[in-house]
Amino acid sequence: MIRTDFKKDAKMRAATLALIAIVSVLLWQTRIGSFLLYPFTILATWFHEFGHGVAALLTGNSFNKLLIFPDGSGLAYTSRSADAFRLTDAFVPAGGLFGPPVAGALLIICSKSREATQGALSLLGILLLASTAIWVRTLVGWLVLPAIGLLILWIAYRGSPPLQRFVIQLLGVQAIISTWQQLDYLFTSQADVGGESGLSDTGAIEAALFAPYWFWGALISVMSAVLLLWSLKVAFRR
């Protein structure tokens, strides 16, 4: 009986998070939805742009600054070395698209234990604060990101275990679905952000590798969905 109740509760919570993910993605495609989800929109932009920055650092390049604009769009300025490989030219843009889903899946999996939950929440809160101080160069980022970071740290040290578990799972879901914040962006080769026109992330991957931008958009979409479902399954497995 206890085992059955646990399974029902786990399935219900996993279904709730999956529903939140679907509703969030759909709302993000509307003007009123973007307004209602504004803090999550800024957080999603941070996940995306910070993913670019981390990918640049991992490949031995520079992460110069991160801009987040009032409309929720953003830019990460990175520098590549003159002798960088073509694979690096694909890895850095892919970091903004696929890095957040990987991080989100890890956050969700960390919810299996209280110690891992507290540690992951603490790390995320510190990263939000530190990245704002080091790389963020816009007022919106300075106002919103530290507030979210401090709230996450408060929950990590003062929140109840059920609240901590729900919040880390919610943040993990938001990180994963940040890839789909603007679905059309995945399937376009050019983009205008902050008054600057250039290649989209999938367009940059196309320029560096062999397949067209829409292939990479579809592949990253499918892999993100797989990560979401897999991480929820792992997190709610007893």
The mean pLDDT of the chain is: 89
Which carries the bigger pLDDT value, residue 98 or residue 197?
A: 98
Which carries the bigger pLDDT value, residue 226 or residue 3?
A: 226
The count of residues in the chain is 238
* Tens digits of residue pLDDT in 125-170: 999 999 999 999 999 999 999 999 999 999 999 999 999 999 999 9
**Coil vs helix vs strand at 169:** helix
| Tokens standing for residue 71 | 């409309």
Find, among 183, 178, 38, the residue nearest to 96 by Cα: 178
Q: Kindly tell me if the per-residue pLDDT of 183 is higher than 50.
A: yes
Q: Kindly tell me if the per-residue pLDDT of 6 is higher than 60.
A: no
Residues 6+ apart with CB under 8 A from 115: none
* pLDDT value for 13: 80
Indicate the DSSP class of residue 180: G
Q: From CA 177, how far away is CA 158, in angstroms rounded? A: 27
**Coil vs helix vs strand at 57:** helix
Q: From CA 16, how far away is CA 91, in angstroms rounded? A: 33
Residues 6+ apart with CB under 8 A from 78: 52, 53, 56, 61, 62, 63, 64, 92
Which H helix or E strand runs over 63?
strand 62-68
* pLDDT value for 1: 43
Which carries the bigger pLDDT value, residue 9 or residue 199?
A: 199
Q: Kindly tell me if the per-residue pLDDT of 34 is higher than 60.
A: yes
Cα→Cα distances 200→153, 167, 190, 191, 203, Å: 34, 31, 5, 5, 5
* Tens digits of residue pLDDT in 37-51: 899 999 999 999 999
Which carries the bigger pLDDT value, residue 79 or residue 1?
A: 79
* pLDDT value for 2: 45
pLDDT over 70 percentage in the chain: 94
Contacts 24+ apart (CB under 8 A), 30-35: 34/72
Q: Kindly tell me if the per-residue pLDDT of 107 is higher than 90.
A: yes
Is the C-alpha dihedral spanning 207, 209, 214, 218 positive or negative?
Answer: negative
Q: From CA 225, how far away is CA 235, in angstroms rounded? A: 15
| Tokens standing for residue 149 | 């970071």
* Tens digits of residue pLDDT in 110-130: 999 999 999 999 999 999 999
Does this model's pTM top 0.85? yes
- Mean pLDDT calculated for residue range 93-100: 93
**Coil vs helix vs strand at 187:** coil
Q: What is the CA radius of gyration of the chain?
A: 18
Find, among 78, 17, 68, 20, the residue nearest to 44 by Cα: 68
* pLDDT value for 7: 66
Report the amino acid identity of residue 85. F
- Mean pLDDT calculated for residue range 10-19: 81
Which residues lie across from 63 on neighbouring strands? 78
Report the amino acid identity of residue 230. W
* pLDDT value for 219: 94
Q: Kindly tell me if the per-residue pLDDT of 205 is higher than 80.
A: yes
